[in-house]
């Protein structure tokens, strides 16, 4: 039986996002927003993390993919970020930039894959920049 069956998918995903946010903070990023979605009108989608890369003065829209290490250690979770997901990220990023008057801001899209071992309470992280 899978360890993840003991917790909900949402809780597992939230844990992955928290691990990713902590990782980013340790790498000189400032977290600007988590689970950002268009608050009005037609729903455009959601971005897991919006962060500021302080070293590059760049806004970063991050998709987090979390998987259970025992079951998926040989997979690449980032492969689930397809064209459709990238289009949604682009739309919500455009909305966020316009809403916050950040038209001159440099930005990029990243993916963070997180493999979580709930038994040992450890995680493996892979950060892909500028996807």
Closest-CA residue to 36 (of 19, 54, 17): 17
Is residue 9 over pLDDT 80? no
* Per-residue CA distances from 116 to 75, 76, 109 (Å): 13, 13, 23
Interval 50-92: pLDDT, tens: 999 999 999 999 999 988 866 656 666 666 778 888 888 899 9
Is residue 1 over pLDDT 60? no
What CATH number is given for 3-128 in this structure?
Answer: 3.40.1350.10
Domain ranges of the chain: 3-128
Q: Given the structure tokens 């689930």, which residue do they identify?
A: 80
Interval 18-46: pLDDT, tens: 999 999 999 999 999 999 987 766 677 88
Q: What pTM was estimated for this model as a whole?
A: 0.86
What would the mean pLDDT of 97-126 be, rounded to a whole number? Answer: 91
Residue 59's φ and ψ, nearest 5 degrees, are: -80, 135
């Amino acid at each position: 039986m899978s360890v993840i069956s003991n917790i909900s998918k949402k809780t597992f995903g939230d844990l992955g996002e928290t691990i990713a946010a902590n990782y980013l903070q340790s790498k000189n990023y400032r977290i600007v927003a988590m689970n950002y979605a268009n608050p009005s009108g037609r729903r455009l989608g959601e971005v897991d993390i919006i962060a500021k890369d302080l070293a590059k003065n760049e806004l970063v829209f991050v998709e987090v993919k979390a998987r259970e290490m025992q079951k998926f250690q040989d997979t690449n979770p980032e492969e689930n970020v397809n064209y459709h997901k990238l289009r949604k990220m682009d739309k919500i990023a455009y909305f966020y930039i316009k809403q916050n008057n950040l038209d001159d801001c440099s930005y990029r899209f990243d993916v963070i894959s997180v493999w979580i071992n709930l038994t040992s309470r450890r995680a493996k992280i892979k950060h892909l920049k500028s996807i």
